[in-house]
Chain A
Amino acid sequence: MKIVSKHPLLTGTALLIISSGALYGCKDFLTEASNPQGTLNEQTLATRNGVEGTLIGAYRTLDCTSATSSNWGCAASNWVWGNVVADDSYKGSDGTDQPPINDLEGYHWGTADAESYLDNKWRIVYEGVVRSNSTIRLLKQVVASKPGELSADDQKGIEGEALFLRAYYHFEAYRLWGNIPYYIETDTDFRKANGTAAEAITNILKDLDAAIALLPASPRNANKGRATRWTATAYKGRVQMYAGQYAAALATLNSVRNSGVYDLETSYDKVWSGFPEATNGKETIFAYQASANDGEPNGNNANYGERLNFPYSGSHFGCCGFNQPTQNLVNNFRVDANGLPRVVTDPNNWNASNANFSAAIKDPVDPRLDWTVGRDGVPYKDWGLYSTADGWVRDIANGGPYGPKKNAHEKASGAESSVGWQNTQLNSVNIHLFRYADLLLLVAEAMVETGDLNGARLIVNQIRTRAGQRAQGPGTAAANIAVPINDPSITWAVYRIGTYPSFPDATFARNAVRTERRLELAMEGQRLFDLRRWGIAAATLNAYINGVGGGAEKSPQRRLYKAGAEAFSARHAWYPIPAIQIELSRVEGEDRLTQNPGW
């Protein structure tokens, strides 16, 4: 200690040096504390499980609502983009809830509200692209660094599925925005300029062709949710139809038809169903595979994106009364004495009724009405009678008296989630993204456009015959949810469905096919896209609001608020690209993304 007191400066400096040295010696100290906690890294994923898992992640964005994102604008079913914006449904619910959909429904697509939904859809389709591309890159990395880790079949299958998904997501983007940028696995610049709609089609078809070449005929690992060669081929046909390549589409779609892989379900009630035996049947080409009670604590995989689309508080479901079918859609299901759609046979009057089409009205209808729409006094699958008086609708003045039905599960199916906030609105009903009836109707359309009217008629009649197999039954037990359409237990409707004896000319045939498509695929998120590719979106939607078939949506007897809608015009040919995405594409002061015309 004497040294200490005698040489204070020395001692002090020594102390500091020792303690500094001590800490400098702990230099690893900083490095050791730098690793992220509770995450995976790229190396961990460069394995078989990593590649397969990344591919699974790419499938998951078929529905974007998840634990990390919940926005109704990117639900798998496209209910906002395909139904509400078209003439199938109103936003429904309360006038002030989910205001972005008000703007979308009123064709005010340039507002900040509308943009919030558009941006969510944009981000999630490109997230799907990113995950598909990550799968391909990771696959190549594993194949290069660990030969033998993946079998040749798996390599082909994984790449094929990822390419298919990449095409699928770009096609979703194309359907909304047309002029989109296309991203492949080698892209590193995410501020690319958008290409034209035609270029998008070319790229999508190129990826689908590549996928078709790689994919097996039946799903890999017998996983029903996976894309196969036939899934990709069916999509190729759909894309060709969107591109107006009717002859090519006909050939592609017919090859699917001839493969015998798919068929119509025996009856319509099995198409949208929670019963396990009805899911992934012959009719399913591609579906979002919903799952409930799968160990996820909040029901995020159980069609979270559809949860708003259930009857309101007086019903079992409790909320939220969105996506309410329109009076126009309901009137579409009216049939004449021959069981043919009055839309076709009575073009001036089919839509004249403004009345709540309740069970009290016994006008004959297509039985598909009661698989598509909840109506007063009609059994709602096996949940009892749909009743506006008992509060099954949130605000009739706003959204009318009807409710969506296809996405609802049957009580007896056990498809309901037992967990999650409002678990009654969560279920494992798969969301059809492409089903065989849709494909058949595309074939019929292509036939009309290529002059085979009788071929088209046979398909329409095939669809109608199947539709006539079963109607909504009393629903007091699993066995009587669906009954023959003339079953004596039916007291709430007169069901009738007939077939077309002939298609006299192409105009009639086109009208019949398009009508059939609307009836068959009503509330399935296809309508706006169909109207657009037919080139009749503006005419149809303006007529829907201002008057068609003897009825107008903007009339005080229906939805007065529709009077505030903007005319559907040339600029509505595509949705506006979210302004924020254009802003984010800026490089050196210049926007790389170009806005769609008119926005």
Chain B
Amino acid sequence: MEKVKFVARWMCAAGISLLFTLSLSHPALAQNVAITGTVTTAAGAPLSGVTVRVQGSDARAVTAENGKYSLTAPSNAVLTFSRVGQRPVQTTVAGRSTIDVTMAQISFLEDVVVTGYTEQRRSDITGAVANVNVESAQKQTGASILQRLDAATPGVTVAASGSPGARSTVRIRGISSFQNNDPLYVIDGTPVQESYLNFLNPDDIASIQVLKDASSASIYGSRASNGVIVIETSKRGPAGPPRATLRVRTGVASPVRGYDDILITNALDYFKVVKAFHENAGLPVPTNIYGDPNNPSIPQYIFAAPSATIAQDQWGRPVNVDLTKYSYPNTLIMPGSTGTNWWKEVFGPAFVGNYNLDVRGGSAENSYGVSFNFFDQNGTAAYNEFKRGSVRVNTSFTRGKLTFGENISLALDRHFGGLPDDPGGYAEDGILGKNILMQPVVPVRDVNGNFAGGKATGLGNQFNPLKEAFEWRNNISKNNQVFGNVFAGLDVAKYVTFRSSLGFNVGQNAFTGFTPIFPENAEATFTNSINEQTNQFTDWGWSNTLRFVKAINRHNFDLLLGEEAGATESRFIQASIANLLNDEIDSRYIQDALGDAGSKNVFSTGGKSALLSFFGKADYNFADRYVASFTLRRDGSSRLSPANRWGTFPAFGLGWRITNEPFFANNRIFTDVMLRYGWGKTGNQLIPPGRIVSQFGGGRGDTFYDVNGSNTSVQAGFRQASLGNPDLKWEENQSNNIGADMVLFGGKLNFVVDVYRRATSNLLFDPATPGTAGIAAPPIVNIGKMKNTGIDFSIGHQAASWNLSFNGSHYKNEIVSINGVQDFFYGPITTRYGNQVINKVGNPIGSFYGYIADGYFENAAAVTAHATQDGAAPGRIRFRDVNGDGKIALDDRAIIGNPHPTFTAGLDFGMRRGNFDLSATLFGSYGNDIFENQKEFYVFRQFSANVKKDLFENSWTESNLDAKYPKMDQNDLYSHALSSYYIEDGSYTRLRNLQIGYNLPSTMQRRIPLSRVYLQGENLFTMTGYDGLDPSLPAANITGPAGDIRDQYRGVDRGSYPSNRVFSVGIVASF
């Protein structure tokens, strides 16, 4: 056995060494010549942005504004010229030094796109591949390119908050699994499956392809189940001296809407609500804040410590206090406020800046691109900021038949402030949860300038949100990441190329946080603490591919063989300590002497996983008429059972370019039409590693016990922490796609449509075990089935001076089976009033669940007439007796809403007039419901929170039976039950972007190195019927034992960072 291992290791090492040797060996050198030239349109206008490639190498150039290019190529090389919307041109150098080319406008089907491991013409692709309009997607001020992908690409949905550096949750064609639905990102050939692409500078991105169906994605088999997004960063420069481009954009962001548009901001108005709530319930109206209920007044002090109070009025309100007794944190005095606008205190305009410099250049045998980026986005919430600095270096070297180079980026980002990007499970405790719903009578600061709070009966249980923001201002999330690859390619022969690429993603995330004391709260705390976390990770992947491209007469063959290996390793450590003697930032370290040593806590854990894959792809094209492709991939995953570790993922696709048929020639409507069909299987293995076997553990605060009765010490104890499943196997997704790519009316109209059906089987998930089996994490099993059906389309028109594209998509998600026994399981989050989400067979994932609200009880007779309902009374919400058994009970709950949109659409418009251009992007989402959970607070007044502005006027009374809100009633602990009363239509249409630009004439550019200036506005208007803060909800950040389960909890508004309206100005300068 040992010997086998040794041999295996030797093979492993030998393989690596040999490849190094090969990559370092010098093939015969060809003679190089310098080439320059101009590319023009048929009409003679210069064409910029044309990529000129030396075939078989990575050397390339891009034409400038005047259509000129220069590069160095072997004297016998073949040059290809390509540009979106132009027919590619191919020509041999044949010793020439000047090569001028004319390009003809053609259908997008001739575009060359990067898909799986290769570049392909669109017309050779039989799967559903969307080419993202990067230029449009870049017109946004977010930290990640992903934020605007939904408007640009049919079939893609993106959820992101307005938080600086927010995570974008990208979903392609519905939801394929109960957990971990992030697509696979392949960046310059290096895969990464995590939607936090903040390390990637949006300005570095040259192209994005979205591989939506299995026939296109299965080449990435193992991880392609959720779709693949192929991102290529800007390549190296054209031959010639360095050319630099500076892009600067600065702007101001403000929230699209604030709670001050929704909530009461005047303290006496709020009192009217308090009074009504008590009077309607037959309870005495509290007088400790507003005094005489019939003649309420703003108190001089909402709170004064008894020892500082000299005199009280008849209502018990302090009217005379001894300010000298004030002593933080024990003896506090807080004045009354006539009306604190808590939203305005925390949220306001914020600065955004993005600075980008890139330098590109090269010679015949090498080329490079270097870029520097600094991005600084302040949050619209106070003390909240995201900063990123990144450097990217892309190089390529050609030595005859050998090319090699690297694409590497180093990114450092910093997120300051305690606001999470996405609401977490217990979102109500954050600044944006219930805390910002603090009553208006509470002042921001006390008499001594310290932060005030609701430290008096009836003022609620909220934390001062501004204090939270302020005290958390030094909470920092740091990410340091090196991402990229080194590659080598060898033209083994004219039709054979070998390519090897080693990708890596190495980094460190760290967090340091501080929790202050809250003596000003009703439930005061006097313990501060700090915590630190560090996660180090190393991912690497090595892929080797061999490609044969050969044309024999009209038969074109393209064969790709490859193998890939990758592993990931991470190690996480966290520590905390409480009761810091000195809470100054310089003393916030975890050392026994600095705090209470007994509270020190250290914990570390880690993860390991590996993947090994072999794959092949064969493409055949006959006369540009018939296209067929076949893919086969075999993947082994360390996360799965040794017996079921290997999965096979086949796919095929057929294409018919019908317009190239003789009988279709010269059709006046259909200029270029390709019909496609694809079928394929993809896999998913993204579960936490190590779940094949059962895990045991415990903890000092979990299984340890003071069995000795010492009261001050515990003995170690253990429990089963999770149940393993030795049979874990691949989750599989089968997809069928029928599509058509059409160029109509001689190129005036482009139309792409795809209809699909995706079925996931052997769904990996962890259904709950019965309580009698204990609390160990249930095993992850492969039983469930899920289905997505849908349609994506896009229509584009390109005229000389304007263009318009519209895309739309629809999907329907359905859980087909859970485990063959259960027909539902609840969502992962139980709010204070229960669980409003159900995953039920026959319905989409994350459906809303609860009673059906049937208006209000009109009167006592209506109560009697209705089925028995707990707490039924006039003015309270009436729930429907769904099962007709005469009583309202849990079995009357029904599915009451669907968080998935029935239709999403994006509209991109652009026009040019002389040197001016204008572009606009609209996005809309329709038919999705929102569970407006904030009503718990601002309608039902849980925790004495602030309430809706119109609550007093629009609540139920005997003369307002059809009111918007139920009767204000302190004793109504029933109407708040989870019901359809919380459901709102989340449809909206939003002007995502409007940009007006001016391109400076070249005559002016000679004097100032400025080529373009523009003004940009984002989220300028929103049309929606949604009553909450922002219908564009981020995905909640929820993780379970089987991974990221945010898709089980969509569309629940628990208070989230609203989108930003941003006005910015930008310049582009080249020199």
Contacts and interface: CB of A to CB of B under 8 A. Distances in A.
B973 A95 contact: yes
A160 B286 CA distance: 57
A127 B709 contact: no
A297 B695 CA distance: 24
B915 to A, nearest CB: 51
A318 B527 contact: no
Contacts of A314: 306
A226 B707 CA distance: 6
A29 B565 contact: yes
A474 B865 CA distance: 58
Contacts of B775: 68-69, 123-124, 127, 130
Given A1-B27, A395-B458, A16 B596 contact: no
A292 B711 contact: yes
Given A53-B716, A295-B700, A37 B608 contact: yes
Interface string A384-403: 00000111001111000000
A397 B709 contact: no
A119 B826 CA distance: 14
Contacts of A30: 610-612, 636-638, 645
B638 A56 contact: no
Interface string A40-63: 111011000110011111111000
Interface in A544-582: 556, 560-561, 564, 566, 578-581
A425 to B, nearest CB: 10
A249 to B, nearest CB: 28
A487 interface: no
Contacts of A313: 455, 521-524
Contact of B943 (A66, A96, A112): A96
A181 interface: yes
A374 to B, nearest CB: 17
A435 interface: no
Contacts of A505: none
Contact of B708 (A27, A45, A224): A224
Interface centre among B461, B693, B696, B870 (most CB of A within 10 A): B696
Contacts of B824: 583
Interface in B1-47: 5, 7-12, 14-16, 18-19, 22, 25-28
Given A36-B693, A94-B943, A297-B576, A110 B889 contact: yes
A289 B598 contact: no
Interface in B472-510: 492-493, 495-496, 498, 500
A139 to B, nearest CB: 13
A586 interface: yes
Given A35-B608, A419-B578, A191 B695 contact: no
Interface in A1-22: 1, 4-5, 8-9, 11-13, 15-16, 18-22
A194 to B, nearest CB: 10
A420 interface: yes
Interface string A141-167: 000000000000000000000000000
B306 to A, nearest CB: 5
Interface stretch (B64-72, B809-817, B831-839): B831-839
Contact of B703 (A29, A41, A56, A318): A56
A116 to B, nearest CB: 6
B26 to A, nearest CB: 7
Contacts of B694: 41-42
Contacts of A34: 608-610, 638-639, 642, 689-690, 692
A31 interface: yes
Given A34-B638, A291-B714, A296-B714, A15 B22 contact: yes
B870 A108 contact: yes
Interface stretch (B54-62, B156-164, B599-607, B798-806): B599-607
B871 interface: yes
Contact of A59 (B542, B700, B717, B974): B717
B770 A94 contact: no
B16 A22 contact: yes
Contact of B578 (A55, A57, A297): A297
B710 A421 contact: no
Given A1-B25, A18-B15, A56-B705, A301 B605 contact: no
B648 to A, nearest CB: 16
B283 A68 contact: no
Contacts of B548: 9, 12
A419 B577 CA distance: 9
A396 B458 CA distance: 10
Given A112-B977, A223-B709, A225-B706, A33 B714 contact: no
Contacts of A564: 870-871, 971, 973-974
Given A36-B693, A395-B458, A421-B525, A279 B711 contact: yes
Contacts of B598: 293, 295, 297, 418-419
A126 B772 contact: yes
A222 B709 CA distance: 10
Contacts of B12: 22-23, 25-26, 29
Contacts of A108: 870-871
Nearest to A98: B832
Given A68-B699, A296-B704, A291 B8 contact: no
Which interface class (under 10, 10 to 19, 20 to 34, 35 or more) fits A?
35 or more
Contacts of B578: 297, 419-420
Contacts of B689: 33-34, 36-37
Contact of B706 (A18, A123, A290): A290
B993 interface: no
B713 interface: yes
Nearest to B460: A94
Interface in B493-546: 493, 495-496, 498, 500, 521-527, 542, 544, 546
Contacts of B608: 32-35, 37
Interface in A352-398: 389-391, 394-397
B1071 interface: no
B971 A295 contact: no
B232 interface: no
Contact of B768 (A55, A566, A584): A584
B712 A320 contact: no
A235 B807 CA distance: 72
Contacts of A391: 456-457
B694 to A, nearest CB: 7
Contacts of A66: 699, 701-703
A131 interface: yes
B221 to A, nearest CB: 15
B721 interface: yes
21 contacts: A12-B496, A16-B563, A30-B610, A37-B605, A39-B695, A56-B704, A67-B702, A126-B772, A126-B773, A221-B708, A222-B708, A290-B711, A294-B704, A294-B713, A296-B704, A319-B524, A391-B456, A397-B283, A418-B599, A560-B281, A564-B973
Interface of B: 5, 7-12, 14-16, 18-19, 22, 25-28, 281-284, 286, 306, 316, 401, 455-458, 461, 492-493, 495-496, 498, 500, 521-527, 542, 544, 546, 548, 561-563, 565, 567, 569, 576-579, 596, 598-601, 604-612, 614, 636-639, 642, 645, 689-721, 768-776, 821-822, 824, 826, 830, 832-835, 870-871, 889-890, 893, 940-944, 970-971, 973-974, 976-978
Given A38-B604, A319-B523, 4 more contacts: A30-B636, A106-B870, A129-B772, A319-B524
Interface of A: 1, 4-5, 8-9, 11-13, 15-16, 18-42, 44-45, 49-50, 53-60, 66-69, 94-97, 99, 102-103, 106, 108, 110-113, 115-116, 119, 122-124, 126-127, 129-131, 134, 181, 183, 190-192, 221-226, 276, 279-280, 289-298, 300-301, 312-314, 318-320, 389-391, 394-397, 415, 418-424, 428, 430, 556, 560-561, 564, 566, 578-581, 583-589
A-B residue pairs, 10 tightest by C-beta:
A22-B15, A36-B690, A8-B493, A300-B701, A25-B11, A224-B709, A56-B717, A130-B774, A67-B701, A297-B601
